[in-house]
Amino acid sequence: MHIAPHDNKNKAIVDANNPTVPLNYFNIVRLKAGEAFEYQVPGYETCIVPATGTVDVSVEGVSFAALGNRGSDVWDGEPEGVYAPVGAKVTIVATKDTETFVAGAKYDKVLDPFDVRVAELDKVQYGSDDTKTHRKIKHILGQKQHGKVGRLLVSELYTVGQGGWSGFPAHKHDTDRTDENGNIIETRHDETYNFRFRPNHGAGVQILQREEGKPGDAYQLMDRSTICIDNGYHPCAVMPGYEMYYFTILGGLSQRSLVQFFQPTHAYQVETIPGIKDMVAKFK
């Protein structure tokens, strides 16, 4: 599902129990300095990540000051985040004008809030210019936070250079299943993206192929497009001459660690892309 760029007026873009991605929640909150926003999402754990600006965050009275250090766009500095437990009352107060992402995943246990600062990010870079797959990933709720989070994975992904493919080789994660020996070969994780381009008049394409060997769908990505992935193989690409970023929310059905199933037609290319196995290992 493609949700076109629009002013959501601080209302959820992907609300709880969304019919396409019921395991995900996503909101974009825009505040001027001094303005505040409160929310609670029953049944969902959430993560607050300023895309731009700086905020103070309170989670059930626990305070996290000066979250976020970026200027005018997501390329201007590193991300930071605050984890909020299931159903927690959260207050966000802007100390600088901000556009703040709120990511969520369905979960049924209440854990403790915590913050993730720049030093605690889990970063990985993989691919190459030659294979047109060069990419940086900055995990905000990643492997380092695994024991403190229920089902939610939150990352930022950047294309390196101008033009190229992401999410390749094509893969999916729409079914919990094991092989004949009981080894997990795929997990059900709903996924939601929000895209940005530099320059912001850039564009890209999201492919969604539901079944091997049959034509799928393609969606034109604009700056601030949101994509919800419920099932199918889903690579994306950016036009030459532009850089692409996407904020990524993954919510697991039965476990937090993501197990991707690579499309059989293209799976051999895992061996051709430098660093991709390390990238796969970080989604835990």
% of the chain beyond a pLDDT of 90 = 82
> pLDDT category, 136, cuts 50, 70, 90?
very high
For tokens 């939601």, what's the residue?
192
Tell me how far the alpha carbon of residue 10 is from its chain's centroid: 19
Looking at the predicted structure, is the pLDDT value of residue 280 above 80?
no
Distances (CA, A) of 25 to 41, 249, 255: 9, 8, 17
- Return the amino acid letter for 225: S
Distances (CA, A) of 30 to 92, 223, 274: 10, 16, 38
Q: What domains lie within the chain, and their CATH numbers?
A: 12-282 (2.60.120.10)
> pLDDT category, 284, cuts 50, 70, 90?
low
Task: Report how far residue 234's alpha carbon sits from residue 217's, in angstroms, rounded to the nearest whole number.
Answer: 10
From the list 114, 52, 112, 57, the residue with the least C-alpha distance to 79 is 52
Is the model more confident about 240 or about 274? 240
Mean pLDDT of 70-81: 97
Tens digits of residue pLDDT in 10-19: 999 999 999 9
Task: Report how far residue 183's alpha carbon sits from residue 173's, in angstroms, rounded to the nearest whole number.
Answer: 15
Tens digits of residue pLDDT in 141-156: 999 999 999 999 999 9
Q: Specify the range with the lowest mean pLDDT, choosing from 47-51, 101-105, 184-188, 261-265.
A: 261-265
> pLDDT category, 277, cuts 50, 70, 90?
confident
Residue 271 has a CB neighbour count (10 Å cut-off) of: 9
Residue 35 burial (CB < 10 Å; 0-12/13-18/19+)? Answer: middle
pLDDT score of 275: 76
Are the beta carbons of 137 and 123 closer than 8 angstroms?
A: yes
Cα Rg, the chain, nearest whole Å = 18
Mean pLDDT of 226-236: 96
> pLDDT category, 135, cuts 50, 70, 90?
confident
Paired sense of beta strands 114-116 and 226-229, if any: unpaired
pLDDT score of 85: 98
pLDDT score of 30: 98
Is the model more confident about 127 or about 95? 95
pLDDT score of 236: 95
Instruction: Judge if pTM exceeds 0.75.
Output: yes
Residue 179 burial (CB < 10 Å; 0-12/13-18/19+)? Answer: exposed
Are the beta carbons of 188 and 173 closer than 8 angstroms?
A: yes
Are the beta carbons of 100 and 48 closer than 8 angstroms?
A: yes
pLDDT score of 279: 72
Task: Report how far residue 96's alpha carbon sits from residue 69's, in angstroms, rounded to the nearest whole number.
Answer: 10
Looking at the predicted structure, is the pLDDT value of residue 271 above 90?
no
For tokens 């990643």, what's the residue?
142
Tens digits of residue pLDDT in 238-259: 999 999 999 999 999 999 999 9
